[in-house]
Each structure stands twice: as C-alpha cells, then as structure tokens.
Amino acid sequence: MAAGHLVAGLLTPASSPFVAVGDTVVRLSPQPVVEFAKAAFGTADKPVLLAGIAVLLVLGGAAAGLAARRRPGPGTAAVALLGVLGLAAVLSSPALRPVDLAAPLAALLVGLAVQRGLHRAARAAAASPPGAGRDGNGDGSGVGRVGRRSVLVGSSAAVALASLAAGGAGVALAASGRGIADSRTVLTRRLAAAALAETAPPVPASASFPGTVPFVTANADFYRIDVALQIPAVRAEDWTLRVHGRVDRELTLTMDDLLARPLVERTITMTCVSNTVGGDLVSTARFVGVELAPLLREAGVDPAADQLLSTSRDGWTAGTPTATVLDAGRGALLAIGMNSEALPVEHGFPVRMVVPGLYGYVSATKWLSELELTTFAEQSVYWRDRGWAERAPIKTQCRIDGPAGFATLPQGRVEVVGTAWAQPVGITAVEVRADGGPWVRAELATEVNTNTWRMWRAELDLGPGSHVLEARATDRRGLTQTEQRVDPIPDGATGWPSVLVSVA
Ligand SMILES: Nc1nc2c(c(=O)[nH]1)N[C@H]1C(S)=C(S)[C@@H](COP(=O)(O)O)O[C@H]1N2
Ligand SMILES: [Mo]
C-alpha cells in the first residue's frame, strides 16, 4: 500500500489504491448506505470510511497470513486480490488516466514480492536441520523459533521499506500541496490587483442582529459538502475549461482567459439540499468571478440543450437548467475568488460554479473542468443517479439561532433571533410563535440582496415552564413555508424550525 501511495504521490494523488478504492466505495454505495453514512457520521464520513478500509486491510492481512502458514498460495491470492481491486478502482474512476494504473500496479508487484519473500524466509527457517530451528511451537506447523525470528526480521524489513515509501509519499504529496498553495497565493494576488467591473456593496451592520450568525461566513466556517476523498489538485496555471456539446463552437478557456473577462463580485448565500430543518449547511460569501451567461452565448447554445452538465476534475457531475444559467438577472458565476482570496482548495480551487437560487448539487460544481450543453433526457448526473431530483430550486426556509434549544431562560420578554432565505426572490416576512399561540411578526434586518439570507429578531412574552418556539418565513412571491415536515431527499426539507426552552 505504501509503495502504491508513493507512486501516486509522484503522479496523481487520487490514484493511490487506498484512496481509489475508497472513492469507488463512495461511488458504488447504494443510496440507503450513503444516506445512513451522512446521517450517522455527517461530515466526518470521509475519515470514517478510510479508517474502516484500513481496519479491513489489517484484518484481511492477518487472515491471509494465518491461511498461508503452510503454502504461499492463500497469501499470494490475498495480495493479488487486493492488487486487482486497486487496479479496478483506478480503471473505473472517471477522473483517472491509464498512466495512473502505475500506482496500484506498484502496490501489487511490491505486495507480491514482500509476501513471497516473507513466506520463503519462514519456510527456509522451518526446513533447516534440527538444532538450527526446531519446531518448538508444538503445533506441527513447521515454523520454529528461528523461523519466527527470520519472519520477524523479514517483516521488520518490510515495515522499514513501507515506512520509507510512506515517508516518500508524504514528501511527494507535500510538494504537490505546496505547488497548489503557491498557485493559490499567486491567484489571490492577481485578484487583488484586478479591476472589478462590478463590486458588491459593503454589507451594512444593520444586516445582522446580536445573536445571529455573521452575515458573511468566514471561509474556514463555510459549510463543506462533496464526495471527494482526495481534493483534486489543479494549479491555476494548468487549469482549463472545455465548453462543448450542443454549441456552435467549442471553447477552451485558461485562467488568463477568465481573468481577461469582466470580473464581478457578488454576495450569495449557498444552500445544500441535504440541510435538515434547523441545520447549518447554508453559508454566505462574497464571490468574485465571471458571468456564465455571456460566456455560453459566445459558444452559441443550441436552444434544445436544456441541461448544462458540469464536470469536476474528480469526475463528479451536476446538471443545471440552461435557462437558469442564461438568465442574465440570475447572475450565474464561474467563481474564482471567495471573501477576498482565491477559492480555498476544499471549496473548488481554482474555479467553481455558483448559481443563486439552486441547491449546490445541481449547480455549484467545484474543481470545474468541463461544461457540456446537453439535455436532461440525454444525460444523467451524479446525484440524480442516486435518487435525488433532476431539478432543485432552493426552498424558502428559516432557522432559529437563539435562544438555543433546551436553554433555560429568565422570566419576562425573550428575544428570538435567526436567519431566513429564499434565493433568488428574497424574504419579506418572518413570524414566530410560542406553544402554537398567535404568530408575532419579526423585525427584519436590512436586505443585502435577494440572493442572500436575511436575519430577523422578535420578542415573545413567556411565563414559567417549558415552551416550544416556532418560526416560519414568507418570500417575495408571497409563499409562506409549509408546516409539513419532509426529509431532504429528493429535493430539500420542509417544515418549521422549532426549539424547546424552559423559563425558570
Ligand atoms: N466536485 C464537486 N462539486 C460539488 C460537490 C461534490 O461532491 N463534488 N458537492 C456539491 C454540493 S452537494 C454542494 S451543497 C456544494 C457545497 O459547496 P461547498 O463545499 O463549497 O460549501 O458543492 C457542490 N459541488
Ligand atoms: Mo449539497
């Protein structure tokens, strides 16, 4: 495994057999398993999966070792099986090339050699004349004390080799990581120096209330959702975007091409379809990028192409209604900057899509590499293949941020604060109530724009005892969110957020 990791570190990090098998498990997992993992482990699902694979490998190795006490066959078969799994994982990955087979191949060959060598050492020791290596363990297996010693020496040598390879892999991966970090620094500087054709108005202090979350989410706090076990490493200098499919002329753009276009800055609230009522898979940033609509118009879009299929460098895909992207008022972006920096690597460096008003899984492709004009009938995409809706506009929703659930409050007036969102139309009202009583209209903070969330506050009079506080939002279309609770799958959760508090 370490040998495979080393070769992958030098070539393509995601081709490490360990990572590639993990990616394949993620890709092939049946939908109930995926939903279970998300519910049980949340955003820790990635380390849990990798640790699980590591445990299985160790247990499998131990079992293979026991099975190979007499004949090398079972051990060789186990190593070969693992090697073939690694090869198959890399071969089936949509994002890896044939040369990336070098990593699982290295793992297979080194694995076979090490297994062979260890087995031979054990047999040689066991077969040596009496006195040199008696069968001292009494189980008749033929592996005696000296046998154990040579196996131990052999194993230690293998461990030492593995550590060397793993260390080398670490160095190789760190070097490629540094390459990306340097590229990000350069891009951040270029963005800072660039003249913006449109800047986002500053967010006024009146856009939030004490007790609400900060209006603009810091990059480090911005929610993160993706299926990438290994973040695709693409230097801005090497990045290209191919625009193809049902277009009059194919385009290939580089970062210089993007930066030569008018750069716009927009404050946008992104939302994940998996967000449950009251959840925090919603964040706001000031994105800098280029407008997608004029770019697609330059390529010449076939009017029949109702789906814009975007592909990530790691093979993940999303399908966005072409009409939404071409709608100039919507302001879909190819984003390069996020809160005065180049995009953080985990948020899609160097380029991602951002389309206000649509859940991320149908619009917000990170590590963007391809845009294809096609139809919803012709082609499906990653989450649609796994039971989620083909189209997914964001549902009007709100969240209570204070008081916290199960808080104990002093008697008297209680301040309730929170946020609400209805991209792209905006929020026009939020109401709160206690214990199913009359709705009380909340005070709304300044609207930054209709593509962002809007903070609110209200006061309620609460007597002693426990109380259920609820909230509901109304959007500019006049639609008030429904009380009916539904799960996120297939197209987003509904229901009123509520908290239980007690007044002393
Ligand atoms: N390449 C890639 N892009 C992706 C995803 C992914 O799994 N892979 N997940 C999408 C989903 S479901 C959401 S909600 C947003 C989240 O973006 P963030 O992690 O920057 O918040 O990215 C979208 N873009
Ligand atoms: Mo999402």
* 35, 226, 311, 349, best to mutate for ligand 1 pocket (most atoms within 8 Å of CB): 226
**Whose alpha carbon is nearest atom 18 of ligand 1?**
224
Which of 38, 283, 309, 361 is the pocket-test mutation for ligand 1 (most atoms within 8 Å of CB)?
Answer: 361
Q: Quick one: pLDDT at residue 142?
A: 47
Looking at ligand 1, which atom is closest to the CA of residue 271? 14
Q: What is the Å distance from ligand 2's center to 155 Cα?
A: 45
Ligand nearest to the CA of 227: 1
Contact, 90 vs 100, CB < 8 A?
A: yes
Amino acid sitting at position 473: A
pTM greater than 0.75: yes
* CA 157/CA 110 separation, integer angstroms: 13
Determine whether 2 is exposed, middle or buried from the number of CB atoms within 10 Å of its CB (0-12, 13-18, 19+).
buried
Query: In order of start, what are the domains of the chain with their CATH numbers?
Result: 2-178 (no CATH), 186-386 (3.90.420.10), 397-503 (2.60.40.650)
Determine phi and psi for 225, rounding to 5 degrees. -135, 120
Nearest CA owner, ligand 1 atom 9 = 226
The widest CA-to-CA distance across the chain, in whole angstroms, is: 94
Å from CA of 364 to ligand 1 middle: 6
In the reported structure, the alpha carbon of residue 282 is separated from the centroid of ligand 2 by a whole-number distance in angstroms of: 9
Residue nearest to atom 8 of ligand 1 (CA): 226
Query: How much is the pLDDT for 208?
Result: 97
Cα–Cα distance for residue pair 233/235, rounded to 1 Å: 7
- Identify which ligand lies nearest to the alpha carbon of 349: 1
| Ligand 1 pocket list (CB less than 6 A) | 222-228, 270, 272, 312, 314, 316, 347, 360-361, 364-367
Radius of gyration of the chain, Cα coordinates, nearest whole angstrom: 28
Q: Which residue has the tokens 């990170």?
A: 366
CB neighbour class for 131 (10 Å; exposed up to 12, middle 13-18, buried from 19): exposed
Q: Which ligand is nearest to the CA of 381?
A: 1
In this structure, the residue with its CA closest to atom 12 of ligand 1 is 361
User: Taking Cα atoms as reference points, which of 256, 102, 108 lies closest to residue 186?
Assistant: 256
Give the SS3 label for residue 412.
strand
| Pairs from 91-95 (Cβ < 8 Å, separation ≥ 24) | 92/24, 93/14, 93/15, 93/20, 93/23, 93/24, 93/315, 94/315, 95/14, 95/232, 95/312, 95/313, 95/314, 95/315
Evaluated on CA atoms 138, 142, 143, 146, the torsion sign reads positive
SS (H, E, C) 164-178: HHHHHHHHHHHHHHH
- Ligand 1, atom 19: nearest CA belongs to which residue? 224
Instruction: Please tell me the predicted confidence (pLDDT) of residue 132.
Output: 46
Report the C-alpha gap between 460 and 499 in whole angstroms.
14
Distance of CA 272 from the midpoint of ligand 1 (Å): 8
DSSP H or E stretch at residue 2: helix 2-10
Dist. CA 400–CA 275, nearest whole Å: 14
Mutate to test the pocket of ligand 1, among 34, 366, 394, 423 (most ligand atoms within 8 A of CB): 366
* Residue listed under structure tokens 């609460």: 462
Each of the 504 residues of the chain gets a pLDDT tens digit; together they read 889 989 998 888 889 998 999 999 888 988 888 888 888 888 788 889 989 999 998 898 888 888 888 888 999 999 999 999 999 999 988 888 889 999 999 999 999 998 888 888 877 777 765 544 444 444 444 445 556 777 788 888 888 888 888 888 888 888 888 899 999 999 999 999 999 999 999 999 999 999 999 999 999 999 999 999 889 999 999 999 999 999 999 999 999 999 999 999 999 999 999 999 999 999 999 999 999 999 999 999 999 999 999 999 999 999 999 999 999 999 999 999 999 999 999 999 999 999 999 999 999 999 999 999 999 999 999 999 999 999 999 999 999 999 999 999 998 899 999 999 999 999 999 999 999 999 999 999 999 999 999 999 999 999 999 999 999 999 999 999 999 999 999 999 999 999 999 998
Quote the distance between the C-alpha of residue 420 and its chain's center.
Answer: 24
